[in-house]
């Protein structure tokens, strides 16, 4: 892939990238981004911070989070780092308690933490299936349910954006994650109705192939075919996904709930993604 993944994910580049949003959009607001230490999550976190939000980032690896935090603090922003494994409900609970103790409010959650490995579904070990479901269905659910409980208890409105994958045509090589994300999309549509009386909006962003360091887990034969992923014949950028998350979180999204915003360069209409390599039959 000729795309310069490192440059597109460089914090300074992201911080200075053009954005359609005004600098004080989130002044006085608090935003939580899971998986904020790398890739899409870092881009979303940096954009929230740039637009004036107080930022909370979580993920399993403290060092990655601290690097992002140091960068934002260097720009004058306020950041709280809470290392958290979203698969552990007690850790998720402690995260929300900490946010309340530090800031006394929370306005936006972008539920981005997640991941999977490419393998033909017929070969999944039960432990592998369970790990991906735990990460992407259970972990995302704990994060969104706890956010809703928080907003119910403090009686303030809130917005959740769940990062999922494009599920319409499935995606060979990652059936486990497609199953998990389809579950989150279904849950989001359902709780969008249940939680509307609480002033809580719940939406999803479904990125297509996006240029992050996370793509390194895919085999070279899959990477070679990345330009076939969509009619624009390029990966999306972390900034493009970040701006779509801001669109749904901010007042631009105030009449949108239970929706899935697909940001995939048209990939669900035309494109091929063989994440574990293309089988002979389809050559």
Ligand X SMILES: NC(=O)C1=CN([C@@H]2O[C@H](COP(=O)(O)OP(=O)(O)OC[C@H]3O[C@@H](n4cnc5c(N)ncnc54)[C@H](OP(=O)(O)O)[C@@H]3O)[C@@H](O)[C@H]2O)C=CC1
**Does 69 interact with ligand X (rule: CB under 6 A)?**
no
Q: Report the residue from 29, 50, 64, 146 that binds ligand X according to the rule CB under 6 A.
A: 64
Contact between 210 and ligand X by CB under 6 A: the answer reads yes
Strand partners, 203: 161
Work out whether 273 is an interface residue with ligand X (CB under 6 A).
Answer: no
> Contacting ligand LOHRUJSQ (CB under 6 A), which of 117, 227, 228, 261?
117
* 85 contact, one of ligand LOHRUJSQ, ligand X, none, CB 5-8 Å limit per kind: ligand X
Instruction: Kindly indicate which of the ranges 141-149, 185-193, 213-221, 260-268 contains the residues binding ligand LOHRUJSQ, using the contact rule CB under 6 A.
Output: 213-221
Q: What's the chain's length in residues?
A: 283
Q: Name the E strands within 212-268.
A: 260-263
What's the CA angle centered on 232, arms 228 and 236, to 5 degrees?
Answer: 90
Task: Say how many CA atoms lie within 13 Å of 196 toward its Cβ.
Answer: 12
**Closest distance between ligand X and the C-beta of residue 9, in Å?**
8
Q: Is 119 in the site for ligand LOHRUJSQ (CB under 6 A)?
A: yes
Dihedral, CA of residue 192, residue 97, residue 157 and residue 260, to nearest 10 = -30
Q: Does 227 bind ligand LOHRUJSQ (CB under 6 A)?
A: no
Q: What distance lies between CA 144 and its chain's CA centroid?
A: 12
Q: At what angle do helices 139-154 and 175-194 cross, to 10 degrees?
A: 20
8 interacts with ligand LOHRUJSQ by CB under 6 A: no
CB of 198 to ligand X, least distance (A): 25
Does position 114 interact with ligand X (CB under 6 A)? The reply is yes
Nearer of residues 25 and 68 to ligand LOHRUJSQ, judged by Cβ:
68
**Residue 153 buriedness (CB in 10 A; 0-12 / 13-18 / 19+):** exposed
Q: Which of 202, 199, 30 shows the shortest CA–CA distance to 99? A: 30
Which residues are CB-contacts of 99 (< 8 A; sequence separation ≥ 6)?
Answer: 30, 32, 56, 80, 82, 106, 150
The minimum distance between CB 236 and ligand LOHRUJSQ, in angstroms, equals 10
The size of the interface with ligand X (CB under 6 A), counted in residues, is 30
Report the partner that residue 158 touches, choosing among ligand X, ligand LOHRUJSQ, none (CB closer than 5 to 8 A by kind).
none
Q: Phi and psi dihedrals of 135, rounded to 5?
A: -65, -50
State yes or no: residue 165 binds ligand LOHRUJSQ (CB under 6 A): yes
Toward ligand X, which CB reaches closer, 24 or 216? Answer: 216
127 binds ligand LOHRUJSQ (CB under 6 A): yes
> Which DSSP category does 141 fall into?
H
- From ligand X, ligand LOHRUJSQ, none, which one binds at residue 127 (CB under 5 to 8 Å depending on kind)? ligand LOHRUJSQ
User: For the packed helices 126-133 and 175-194, what is the interaxial angle rounded to 10 degrees?
Assistant: 30
Is 85 a binding residue for ligand X by CB under 6 A? The answer is: yes
CA distances 100 to 80, 147, 183, Å, are 12, 11, 29
Give the residues lining the site for ligand LOHRUJSQ (CB under 6 A).
Answer: 115-117, 119, 125, 127-128, 131-132, 135, 165, 171, 174, 209, 214-215, 217-218, 222, 273, 275
């Amino acid at each position: 892939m000729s795309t310069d993944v490192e440059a597109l994910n460089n914090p300074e580049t992201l911080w200075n990238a053009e954005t359609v949003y005004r600098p004080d959009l989130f002044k006085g607001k608090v935003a939580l981004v899971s998986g904020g230490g790398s890739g899409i999550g870092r881009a979303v976190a940096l954009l929230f911070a740039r637009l004036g939000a107080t930022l909370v980032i979580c993920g399993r690896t403290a060092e990655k989070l601290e690097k992002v935090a140091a960068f934002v603090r260097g720009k004058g922003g306020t950041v709280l780092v809470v290392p958290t494994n979203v698969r552990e409900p007690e850790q998720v609970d402690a995260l929300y308690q900490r946010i309340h103790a530090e800031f006394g409010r929370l306005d936006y959650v972008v539920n981005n933490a997640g991941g999977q490995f490419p393998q033909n579904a017929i070969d999944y070990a039960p432990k592998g299936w369970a790990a991906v479901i735990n990460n992407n269905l259970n972990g995302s659910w704990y994060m969104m349910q706890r956010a809703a409980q928080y907003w119910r208890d403090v009686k303030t409105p809130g917005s959740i954006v769940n990062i999922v994958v494009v599920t319409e045509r499935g995606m060979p090589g990652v059936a486990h994650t497609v199953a998990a994300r389809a579950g989150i999309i279904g849950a989001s549509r359902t709780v969008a109705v249940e939680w509307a009386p609480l002033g809580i909006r719940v939406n999803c962003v479904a990125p297509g192939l996006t240029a992050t360091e996370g793509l390194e887990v895919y085999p070279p034969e899959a990477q070679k075919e990345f330009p076939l992923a969509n009619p624009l014949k390029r990966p999306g950028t972390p900034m493009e996904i970040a701006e779509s998350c801001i669109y749904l979180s901010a007042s631009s999204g105030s009449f949108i709930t239970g929706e899935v915003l697909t940001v995939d360069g048209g990939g669900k209409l035309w494109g091929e993604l063989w994440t574990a390599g293309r089988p002979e039959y389809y050559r």
